[in-house]
Amino acid sequence: MSTWRDVRSADVQRDITPLPRVVPAPQGKPVRPEAPDNQRLMASIVDDPNAWTPELALFTGQVFDSLAASWVDDRGAYRPAPLLDALERGSVPTIGRCLELGSGTGVLTPHLLETWSEIVSVDISMGMMQRNPHECQVQADASRLPFPDSLFDVVVIGDAPLFAGEVARVLGRAGTLIWSNALGTGAPYYVPTQELFDALTSATSGARWSAIESEALWGSWVVFHRTCEAAEVSCLES
C-alpha cells in the first residue's frame, strides 16, 4: 500500500480552501502536556496504519475507560464548537447515513443527530460507550471497521485517529469526511490538513478530494469532499 509520503513526493496539487475564523478564541485554552508526543504518534499512523498495533489499541481503550467518568465535566463544554462551525460552513450534506468515529461519551452525538436521522457511533472504549445514551453504538477498532464498503455518506472524526484506507472503504463515492480537533494544534490527535489530504488521496484511486478548513473557539476543523472521476470507478482503497 502507498502512503501519503508517496503522494507528497509526486507534488500533487491539494485543493484546500481556508475560511476565516468566525468563532473567537478566548483566554483560558486548556493545555494537554501529552499532545506533542501523541501528535507524533498520530502522524506516524496516518503515514503507516501498521504503526497502530493491537497492543496500542488495547492500551488506548484502557486509557479512555479510565477517563470516562470525568470526560464530560473536563471536556464537554468546548468540544462541540469546531464541529458546529464545520457543519455550518463546510458545505456538509445533510442527507444519508453518518458514521461517527471516536464517539466517546456522546458529547458530539446529539449535534449529529440534529443533522442526520441515521447515525452509527463507534468507539474503542466500552467505558466511554456506556455513558453515551445513543442507541446505535458499535464497539470497534477504527482501523478495522465491521461495515461493508460504501455504507456511509458522511464520516465524522472528532479527536480520534484517521485510518484513511478504512474511511475511504466505508465512505460512499461522493462522500464527506468531517475532521475536528477541540484544541486545534494543541490537541493530542491533531494532524495538519496537508498530511490528512495526502493520506486520503493515497488511500483512494480514481477519486478527487477537496477540503474546506477553519478554526473555531480553541479548535480546528476540516471537511473533505470526495468525488469520483468516473461513475464506474469504485473509489475504494487502492
Going from N- to C-terminal start, the domains of the chain cover 4-18+32-228
* Residue 179 scores a pLDDT above 50: yes
pLDDT of amino acid 7: 43
Least confident range from 64-78, 98-112, 124-138: namely: 64-78
Half-sphere exposure of 34 (CA within 13 A, CB side): 6
Alpha carbons 42 and 48: distance in angstroms, whole number: 10
Cell numbers for 53: 498495533
% of the chain surpassing 70 pLDDT? 90
**Closest by CA position to 157, among listed 144, 173, 142:** 142
What is the CATH code of the structural domain delimited by 4-18+32-228?
3.40.50.150
User: The whole model's pTM is what?
Assistant: 0.90
Mean pLDDT score of the chain, rounded to an integer? 89
